Amino acid sequence: MLGILGKILISASFATSLLALVFYFISANRDQEKTLRIGNWLFAAKTTFLVVASGILIYLIFQHQFQYYYVFNYTSLDLTPRYLFSAFYGGQEGSFMLWILFSAFLGFGLMKWTRPPYKAPVLFFLTMTQVFLLSMLLGWDIFGLKLGASPFRTIAEEMPNAPFLQTNPDFVPNDGSGLNDLLKSPWMMIHPPVLFIGFAMMTIPYCFAMAALWKQKYNEWISPALPWTLSANVALLTAIFLGGYWAYVTLSFGGYWAWDPVENASLVPWLIGTAGIHTMIIQRKSSVAQKSSILFAILAYVFVVYETFLTRSGILGSSSVHSFVDLGLYNQLLAFMLVVTLVGLGLFFWRYKELPSPEKEASILSREFMTVSGAMLLLILGLVIILGTSSPILGQLFVDKPTPPEISFYNDWSMPIAMIMAIFTVLGQYLFWKKYDAESLASELINPLLVTSTVTILAIIWGDVRNLYYMVYLFCGFFAIVGNGWILIRLIRQKPKLIGGALTHVGFGMLLVGILASSAYNSPLVDQQTAQYNEAVKQGEVTDEQGFKVTQLEEMLMLNLNETILVDGRYMVTYEGYELDNTVRRGQQTYKIKFEPVDGGKPFYMRPEVYPMLTSSTAENIQWSVDPDVRTGLLSDIYLYVGGSSYVQEQNDRAAEMNSTMQNVADQDTTAEKESVQSFNFTPGESKDVGNYTIRFVNYMRTDSTELPPNTSIGVRAEVELIHPASDRIVTLNPLFAVYSENGQSYIFSPPSFAREFGLEFQFTQINPQENSIELTVTGLEEEYEPEWVLIVADEKPFISVVWAGTFMLMIGFSISIFRHWGRERKKNSE
């Protein structure tokens, strides 16, 4: 019932949007106030319908109405309220809804603050994008032509041919299939909403640019559009940062950035948006670059839609970690993309001749030239990334069935572009605030260059940088930090409100340095032996059984319980056991790994986690997921996750056993029980848990010479305690070990001692004087003794903190600029 209401509301929302579109069009065309007001009312009605529909969806999720496919597919009974709420946008349909919601709320801001003549056309284009997005949610079926996928469709509608529905059409599952375990993270609460705020805000510069082209007023739109563009930029940057941080600290992607198409989907619009900000600022200052401002504003949104198309149409299916499942929206998404692009670029080229051009060309050493060049570099970088991301389509120019490009493609192109950008940021910032000719600029730059060179040389020596290319790159990065920092300090003294730009450029330089340090100098933490092995592999000296060169480095570390090993020559690492905890996630193990710095620093613990993925595990097949632990430091992070453990193996074996017993109950246990014989090493005082028992070697004991064979050279007894905790019994045994000689030959005499009540037999079989340990051989134990171990993968990642610091500087810098430009805008509004 509620589902039908939801569908009706979405359809009503779609219909009112279409109507609003018509009224906005008339208003924009004739500059009518009355039709604009009707449009606004329709817009408000549309938003209300959508809000109520979203409320219903959230209600259905919280009421566990599993007859609805969306509820069934993304939630389950055991989800806590916060994850129930985030399931609202956990799937493709809900995420579209959230996107439109944000876009609609922004619409009211635009109604309030936008001045004529832009108001009506801006709202027209905003509504146009919403019409397309809403159409993805319709779930209409017009003569077999499917339009959209409704979040309110029932299981029966989703899977009409499912066998359990054939037998019982009113079937309602008892429980849902649940939210993907990887998404059950506090980051899921915040990352997607911020991202969609960013996407929704990126629509606004597009709307303003289109309005400017429509109304043929090419300069005035900059002032209102600039703060919106800056805000979109901050929102996207925050989303990118949150996503990267999430990937890094909890998802064990191994780093904060992987050039994954979905990551690129938010980076490219950000780059183009940033390019737009550059040209808008320079257009406002010097009345140049009208064409590029409009073009970038259009392109930023075109790329939002293009990347949406790539990630949601199923095209990327095979190349992305987290692209969405195809919902059959391919054609609609394609239409959305084509309309946004063709209308945008079409109108741009229609008006192209009319657009103002600069009267004379700007000289190279001018802020106009530098700023526009910076924007162009951002555009080029964006286009390179787009090219890589588009490999499933554009790769077909080269080969059939193309794979995604190698990561090196992105790195090889983005590094030099970023280096040129770094130099340009400094030149641009100097020229932005003052006019220079070549000579005066050079003399001004002497001091920053000296500082940069010193810092670079120190960094090269300290970080042992051997790669010439990296040296140049570091120089560029430091130049951006120092040069822009110079300006920043000057501005703080003179005009502290205008430091936004300088601050972002310092942040950019820090990003460059941090990214290189953390990715190129990422080193696995392994023990001495593995390090030697890896060194040999690098030299090409290791061959495998078939005589082929081994190229894969070993990056895992095996730790036995309470056995300390030296790692990387710097840490004594001990595995101190695990704890089972069911409060956060059922069956979660937290491993306790102690790091003691050799140089006498403070010891610390790393606590990586492993948990079974409940949504995809069964009793016979457990799927485990890992949650790494990151120790954040100023200079470097230690990043560590569990690759395996004795506990996990035991559980897997048990599950596998359960699987096989379930499959062949008939031929169980046909293997004859064989008497098991096991040997253990003990040092005095040590105890071991074996199956149901604890065995403790208390100490050595003297022995009577009468019990020994003749000619004995060594004769000693061990005091051994056998503890059976279940029955609370302790049996003390004193097995004998003796070495005697007969006919010039030495023999070992170790008669068995019996623990009759448990059917066990103990022999004292060896003494290892170097380790001060003895060997006991036990016969009759049912369970094999397995030492507890954990396999970890640990990396040291230097200067990740600098990456985050650079990102924060960018955010703060952009935010300062928002306040500045918004403040001016508000004054204009109140006039």
Question: Closer to another protein at the Cβ: 551 or 664?
Answer: 551
Could you give the C-alpha distances from 210 to 120, 128, 213, in angstroms and in order? 11, 12, 5
CB 659 to another protein: min, Å: 11
Q: What mask of x and - would describe binding to another protein in positions 105 to 144, judged by CB under 8 A?
A: ----------------------------------------
CB 43 to another protein: min, Å: 36
When asked if residue 558 is in the footprint of another protein (CB under 8 A), the reply is: yes
CB 415 to another protein: min, Å: 13
- For the chain, the maximum distance between any two Cα atoms, rounded to a whole number of angstroms, is 122
| From 42, 204, 506, 642, residue interacting with another protein (rule: CB under 8 A) | 642
Q: What mask of x and - would describe binding to another protein in positions 649 to 688, judged by CB under 8 A?
A: x--x------------------------------------
- Classify the phi-psi angles of 755: left when phi > 0, otherwise alpha if psi is within -120 to 50, otherwise beta: beta
Stretch that binds another protein, among 15-23, 294-302, 542-550, 744-752 (CB under 8 A): 542-550
Q: What mask of x and - would describe binding to another protein in positions 222 to 251, judged by CB under 8 A?
A: -----------------------------x
Element (H, E) at 830: helix 800-830
CB 391 to another protein: min, Å: 5
Distance CA 119, CA 113 (A): 9
When asked if residue 791 is in the footprint of another protein (CB under 8 A), the reply is: yes
Q: Which of 664, 738, 753 is nearest to 704 (CA)?
A: 738
When asked if residue 577 is in the footprint of another protein (CB under 8 A), the reply is: no
Residue 413 CB: number of other CB atoms within 10 A? 18
CB 796 within 8 A of CB 531: no
Residue 573 makes CB contacts below 8 A (sequence gap 6+) with 557, 559, 564, 565, 566, 567, 593, 594, 595, 596
CB 645 to another protein: min, Å: 7
CB 799 within 8 A of CB 514: yes
CB 652 to another protein: min, Å: 7
The 10 Å CB-count burial string (b at 16+, else e) for 89-128 is bbbbbbbbbbbbbbbbebbeebbebbeebbbbbbbbbbbb
Residue 666 makes CB contacts below 8 A (sequence gap 6+) with none
Sites for another protein among residues 319-348 (CB under 8 A): 319-323, 325-326
* Strand-pair partners of 775: 681, 766
CB 824 to another protein: min, Å: 36
| From 18, 32, 146, 158, residue interacting with another protein (rule: CB under 8 A) | 158
- Per DSSP, the three-state class of 361 is coil
When asked if residue 770 is in the footprint of another protein (CB under 8 A), the reply is: no
Tell me the two tokens of residue 587: 């069956």
CB 379 within 8 A of CB 275: yes
| From 621, 661, 663, 741, residue interacting with another protein (rule: CB under 8 A) | 621
Question: Closer to another protein at the Cβ: 457 or 542?
Answer: 542
When asked if residue 413 is in the footprint of another protein (CB under 8 A), the reply is: yes
Q: Which of 455, 452, 456, 458 is nearest to 480 (CA)?
A: 452
Sites for another protein among residues 366-385 (CB under 8 A): 380, 384
Question: Closer to another protein at the Cβ: 318 or 711?
Answer: 318
Sites for another protein among residues 252-311 (CB under 8 A): 252-254
Distance CA 768, CA 763 (A): 15
Residue 663 makes CB contacts below 8 A (sequence gap 6+) with none
Sites for another protein among residues 522-541 (CB under 8 A): none
| From 167, 168, 174, 408, residue interacting with another protein (rule: CB under 8 A) | 408
| From 63, 166, 219, 318, residue interacting with another protein (rule: CB under 8 A) | 318
Residue 582 CB: number of other CB atoms within 10 A? 8
Residue 9 CB: number of other CB atoms within 10 A? 21
Distance CA 793, CA 641 (A): 5
Stretch that binds another protein, among 15-23, 608-616, 757-765, 822-830 (CB under 8 A): 608-616
Strands 609-612 and 588-597: antiparallel
Q: What mask of x and - would describe binding to another protein in positions 180 to 219, judged by CB under 8 A?
A: --x-------------------------------------
Stretch that binds another protein, among 48-56, 75-83, 441-449, 551-559 (CB under 8 A): 551-559
- Per DSSP, the three-state class of 112 is helix
Q: What is the DSSP letter of 161?
A: T
CB 68 to another protein: min, Å: 14
| From 409, 433, 740, 822, residue interacting with another protein (rule: CB under 8 A) | 409
| From 224, 273, 276, 388, residue interacting with another protein (rule: CB under 8 A) | 388
How many residues lie near another protein (CB under 8 A)? 65
Question: Closer to another protein at the Cβ: 386 or 720?
Answer: 386
The type of residue at 86 is: S
Burial of residue 779, with CB atoms counted within 10 A of its CB: 0-12 exposed, 13-18 middle, 19 or more buried = middle
- Give phi and psi for 362, each to the nearest 5: -75, 145
Stretch that binds another protein, among 195-203, 479-487, 613-621, 741-749 (CB under 8 A): 613-621
Tell me the two tokens of residue 258: 């992987």
Which residues form the interface with another protein (CB under 8 A)? 158-159, 162, 177, 182, 251-254, 314, 317-323, 325-326, 380, 384, 387-388, 391, 394-395, 397-406, 408-409, 412-413, 544, 546, 548, 551-552, 554, 556, 558, 610, 613, 616, 621, 623-626, 641-645, 648-649, 652, 791
